[in-house]
Chain A
Amino acid sequence: MPQATQTIIGQTNPIAIMFFIAFVIVTLVITYWAAKRTRTTKDFYAAGRNVTGFQNGLALAGDYMSAASFLGIAGLVSTRGYDGLIYSVGWLVGWPIVMFLISEPLRNLGKYTFADVVAYRLNQRPIRAAAAAGSLVTVLTYLIAQMVGAGTLVKLMFGLPYEAAIIIVGALMIAYVLFGGMIATTWVQIIKAVLLLGGATLLVFLTLSKFGFSYADLFGQAEKLYTSKFLEPGGLITSPIDAFSLGLALMFGTAGLPHILMRFYTVPDAKEARKSVFYATGFIGYFYILTVTIGFGAAVLVGQKIIMGIDKGGNMAGPLLAEALGGTPFLGFLAAVAFATILAVVSGLTLAGASAFSHDLFVGVIRRGQASEKEEVKMAKMATLGLGIAAVLLGIMFKGQNVAFLVGLTFAIAASANFPALLMSITWKKFTTKGAVTSIYTGLTVATVLIILSPTVWVDIVHKTEKTAVENQIKMIESTSSAKIADLEKQKTPALKSEKLAALDTSIAGEKKLADEQIKTEKAKMPKAIFPLKNPGIYSMAAAFLIGIIVSLLWRDKKAEEKFAGEKLREYIGIGAEE
């Protein structure tokens, strides 16, 4: 099959800019409309609880489907084949957990943040301080990862300078959240989700049309180009415990992401909350199947050489495929959708961060629950502005840095600091304030420290110079040795005597052995991580649960236990739930 050879990626694309400006105009009009409807805290944090289950399903999908998952998974599949598919599965499996364990109790017990639920029958101040710490760290790490990704992607797709891209994203995100609150943010998510799902569907349709709408044919072509290894599990999972740990973090981290949890307060009741997870899971699952198809399609129709030539990580696989199949206009459309995706995700994160700051820290901790709605909204708006500016500055500060570990860290913290406390507070009668607070801080600290000591940070970032030095040394050894071997091979001519040939073969074997030994000694010099796993989920989650249980059992709280009966009534049948 002929592969695309030319691309305009990296150059200014007027069509992309046109589509993007159209998106901005529409969303700003919505923000203006939403601003007039945003007066109370209920409007600002929870869109007046008027969002339907279907709308919230789309908005949840919008919050979750980041540009990184759209471009990243397609890229991973195009370069690593089946391993990319494995990766995409892990991103979906947290959603059923959200539905079975979290969504309904959260909606019934809380008001605006997940701290409302944890603090329901416990002491407000210490819980709110701890939960706000968990929320803010999760939001900030995810925000930095998104901003750095945004700068790089926009630079590649629009030809805009990195800093300009970050400032545009920051300014628009602040405008949506500051003026339009949750109403505007929800609509931005919905529009983005529809555009992303529509764009990806069209791309998959065009791709499959090249293969007679047969996946078997697509896989057959992929096998021809990249051998059958491309359709088999490869090197992504080498250590079972590492895979298990990452799986846990992905699965339960989803149920501890503040910007996801916050969405359940935007629907009128628990029934709509569970419906929204059903829709969200469907949309997100469908989306991952689309991105995987795009990845395989790009590998065949564009080719790995071109994909990796533009971006080593393969992030441009999707856009390149769009360009090959639909020309510059389709590339422009997809670039604009990717930009919109980034904007929507950072808006959701900023709103979640602002609510943790104003609702939990300012009202709950500093004002001990005594603040008027007007004051709270004002504080939330100030926090939005502060977080927005911080996101821009951090995004510029981290330019060119390796931030891949931040996404892993976000999920590890969400799974270890936020999820255990939330789950225990709704299911376990004997859970106490001390137990919750120590559990949250333990999860937060263990996850953070172990990530720093893990290969992703300790080797790839802290000891980067040593690692590259060793890698370069190995490359040098390999090239000198293969040069020598090639030299010896050249001396082999049919005219040579057999003794001479044998001697040459021994020299070649000797060269090979020497190189192997040298490489072995070099590899021994490779810096080692203090903590062996790439994701600490399994240990940090276990630590958070254990500490929470032990502390709760050692220092019992009879008052909290008595209040559990009342909590159950509200948790299961929604009596007294926020309207």
Chain B
Amino acid sequence: MAKVSVHEILEDKDFKDLLKRRNRVALTLTVVELLIYFGFIALIAFNKPFLSQKMSAGTATTVGIPIAVGTIALSWVLTGIYIFWANSRYDTLVKKIKEKIGG
């Protein structure tokens, strides 16, 4: 396997592609998490009546309860999405680049 110098790797198309993908995924997921949480906070701050509605007639459960629990659950799901992406796509790309260096 042909070894490639550090400088060449930095200019390598695959490496640049890897950086771009990782930054895009990380940034998108971060923004989604921020939107979910601060969206929830904004609802509490500006639209309490919405959260105070009953889920259905005759029940005590308010809309706010599944939304709050959903915020927790979605946060976890996002970390799961990242793991899934990193294990399937990212690690394959890293392996490919490492092979080029011969490491």
Contacts and interface: CB of A to CB of B under 8 A. Distances in A.
Contact of A96 (B9, B15, B79): B79
Nearest to A98: B79
A232 B64 contact: yes
B26 A89 contact: no
Main secondary structure of the interface of B (DSSP, over half): helix
Contacts of B19: 568, 572
B9 to A, nearest CB: 6
A236 B41 CA distance: 11
A475 B59 CA distance: 38
B60 A219 contact: yes
Contacts of B57: none
A277 B79 contact: yes
Interface in B57-103: 59-62, 64-65, 68-69, 71-73, 75-76, 78-80, 82-83, 86-87, 91, 94, 97-98, 101, 103
B10 interface: yes
Contacts of A86: 44, 68
A232 B72 contact: no
Contact count band on A: 35 or more
Contact of A222 (B38, B44, B45, B60): B60
Contacts of B65: 82, 85, 219, 231
B48 to A, nearest CB: 5
A96 B32 CA distance: 10
A434 to B, nearest CB: 26
B79 A231 contact: no
Nearest to B34: A251
Interface in A426-462: none
Interface in A228-281: 228, 231-233, 236-237, 240, 243-244, 247, 251, 271, 274-275, 277-278, 281
A232 B51 CA distance: 7
A100 B87 CA distance: 14
A222 B60 CA distance: 8
B62 A573 contact: no
Contacts of A244: 38, 41
Contact of A289 (B9, B10, B72): B72
A574 B37 contact: no
Contact count band on B: 35 or more
Interface string A553-579: 000000000000110110011110000
Contacts of B22: 572
Contact of B64 (A88, A233, A277): A233
B45 A237 contact: yes
A228 B38 CA distance: 25
A568 B20 CA distance: 12
Contact of B10 (A93, A220, A568): A568
Contacts of A569: 6, 9-10, 15
B44 to A, nearest CB: 5
Nearest to A99: B79
Nearest to A277: B79
A281 B41 contact: no
Nearest to A104: B86
B46 to A, nearest CB: 7
Nearest to B61: A219
A233 B76 CA distance: 23
B29 A100 contact: yes
B18 A573 contact: yes
Contacts of A236: 44
A278 B94 contact: no
Contacts of A92: 72, 75
Contacts of B27: 100
A82 B83 contact: no
8 A-B pairs with least C-beta separation: A240-B45, A223-B60, A232-B52, A219-B60, A220-B60, A93-B37, A100-B26, A96-B33
24 contacts: A82-B62, A82-B65, A85-B64, A85-B69, A88-B68, A89-B40, A100-B29, A101-B30, A216-B59, A219-B59, A231-B61, A232-B51, A237-B44, A247-B38, A251-B34, A271-B87, A277-B79, A278-B82, A281-B76, A565-B10, A569-B9, A569-B10, A572-B18, A573-B18
Interface of B: 6, 9-10, 15, 18-19, 22, 25-27, 29-30, 33-34, 36-38, 40-42, 44-46, 48, 51-52, 59-62, 64-65, 68-69, 71-73, 75-76, 78-80, 82-83, 86-87, 91, 94, 97-98, 101, 103
